Amino acid sequence: MLPHDVALEQNEYRLVLVKSGSHAIWAENTGEMWRLPRIAIPRCTRPAEKLQQAMERAWLLCCVVVDFLPAGKCSTPCVVAEILPSHFPHGLTATGIDEIPAEEMTSEERQVVEDILSGETGTRGPFSRIGWITEAMEWLHAAVGYKVVLAGGIRQYNAGGNFALVRFATEAGPAYWLKATGDPNTHEFHITEKLAELCPESLPRRIAARVDWNAWLMEDAGQPLDSWNLSALEQTVLCMAGLQKKSIGLSHEFLTVGAFDQRLGNLRAHLPKLFEYLDEAMAKQTSVKVQRIEKRRLWQMADTLQDACSRMEDLGIPDTLIHNDINSGNILFRGTHCVFTDWCEVGVGNPFLTFQHLCLLQFGNGVDWSPRLREAYKRCWLEDHLSASQIEQALALMPLLAILSYFYGRGTWLRSPRRYEPRFEMYARSLARHMDRASQDCQLMEVLCH
């Protein structure tokens, strides 16, 4: 039994374990009834990854998560997993779904499991069925000529009816990744396709694609860095600037295939709604640990942001692609070469937005590398696009504007119930405080006043 405080940090799942090519369910026979096995995994982690690992440890299984069943009356969530050929779960016995009692599975869950077993995906998506992983391995084999290592060679990171992120180790070649995205991230398929054509050196090598799955295969492109160093950050800055310059003039094309509009004119147009929301969120603050930003100060910040957007537009910096989800996990290194992955939050806007996010990756190392990174980024844009004056002013304006773009994001939350969630309101108040500090920066004021 886990200590009480540790147990609170776990999520328990009921498992519907199905073997490839079979309609039987592997469960525990208590002598009185059939019981679905349970697995507990840490909270705030990737559920598919941790469930796969936990099942391997518990029953020495090679298996993959097929789908997470809709939340119903049971407090313990339920997941369907496929046991791959030549593996049998020790301590469990095969039985029919009709033998599983009502206490173990609701009627709604039972219907979904029956559909999965029969191959009826309905509206759940192409991965909510037994056998899709075998089909994926055959697809990979046909595309590259290498067979997947079955025992321990399949590592799952995301799962669901419309989503997949799986790493395949092969017997005689490199590793490969399969990624598939569903709503609201279906656009990533088309974004990465277009980026692969525009600047293939900046992304993992794309091997093949399946439109019916909204999925693509990529060659493994390296590892994220365990710890950042100046050389790696400079290389990242140079690679990102090169990619951005290639996307100049292609804003409409990328917006058409799903990139989000974070151009300064759009951000400026949404300032009234954003600050009306901040005013509402601040009024709901109950904590006395930090001072509430009053209405008058909020609208002073909105005016400053209006001026900053206009000043940045006056600089005439061309719009480019901006990543919007730059973190250490989305930058992969092999030697000194780096590539960028995870483009589901991609936008079109001022290129310096992404540079500002890159600068934040050094946070916590005790050394300020910002001057060196600014010089590296500045050199890239001085070559044939911008003057030193344009760049210096943009660098002064960007810390404030980067927070605004991060707050706006896709913009869809302004019209969704998410805006009323207490955790999101708390997040918005935190960003408002960051904007408050950034709006009082001396370098920013100097640019705005000239």
3-class DSSP state for residue 157? strand
CA atoms within 13 Å, Cβ hemisphere of 167: 15
d(CA 8, CA 147): 41
Cα distance between residue 155 and residue 49, in whole Å? 7
User: 52: buried, middle or exposed (CB in 10 Å: 19+, 13-18, 0-12)?
Assistant: buried
Rounded distance, CA 403 to CA 428, Å?
11
Integer CA distances (angstroms), 173 to 124, 141, 148, 168, in order: 34, 11, 9, 11
Structure tokens that stand for 434 in this block: 């960051």
* pLDDT score of 93: 93
Backbone angles phi, psi at 291, to 5 degrees: -75, 140
Query: Is residue 82 within a helix (H) or strand (E), and if so which, with residue range?
Result: strand 78-83
pLDDT value at residue 2:
41
Q: What angle do CA 445, 448, 450 make, to 5 degrees?
A: 110
Q: State how far Cα 299 lies from the chain centre.
A: 32
**Domains plus CATH for the chain?**
4-118 (3.90.79.10), 132-219 (3.30.200.20), 230-448 (3.90.1200.10)
pLDDT in tens, 153-170: 999 999 999 999 999 999
Neighbour-count burial of 249, counting CB atoms closer than 10 A to its CB (0-12 exposed, 13-18 middle, 19+ buried): exposed
Degrees, nearest 5: CA angle 122-11-99: 55
Give the bridge partners for 19, in sequence order.
83
160: left (phi over 0), alpha (psi -120 to 50) or beta: left
Residues of the chain under the 70 pLDDT cut: 1-8, 72-74, 362-365
The upper half-sphere exposure of residue 448, i.e. CA atoms within 13 Å in the direction of its Cβ, equals 19
- 353-372: b (≥16 Cβ within 10 Å) or e: bbbbbbbebbeeeeeebeeb
Token readout for 115 is 């559909």
Residue 117's SS3 state is helix
Q: How far is CA 130 from CA 36, 63, 108, 169, 271, in A?
A: 18, 11, 19, 21, 48
Give the residues across from 67 on adjacent strands: 80
Q: Determine which helix (DSSP H) or strand (DSSP E) holds 79, and give its type and residue range.
A: strand 78-83
pLDDT in tens, 33-79: 999 999 999 988 999 999 999 999 998 888 999 999 987 666 789 99
Quick check: 66 and 98 in contact, CB under 8 A?
A: no
Which residues touch 341 (CB under 8 Å, ≥6 apart)?
203, 204, 221, 330, 331, 332
Neighbours of 275 (CB within 10 A): 19
Contact of 203 with 338, CB cutoff 8 Å: no
Report the candidate in 44, 23, 148, 158 with the shortest Cα–Cα distance to residue 94: 23
pLDDT (0 to 100) of residue 88: 79
Whole-number Å distance between alpha carbons of 137 and 187: 24
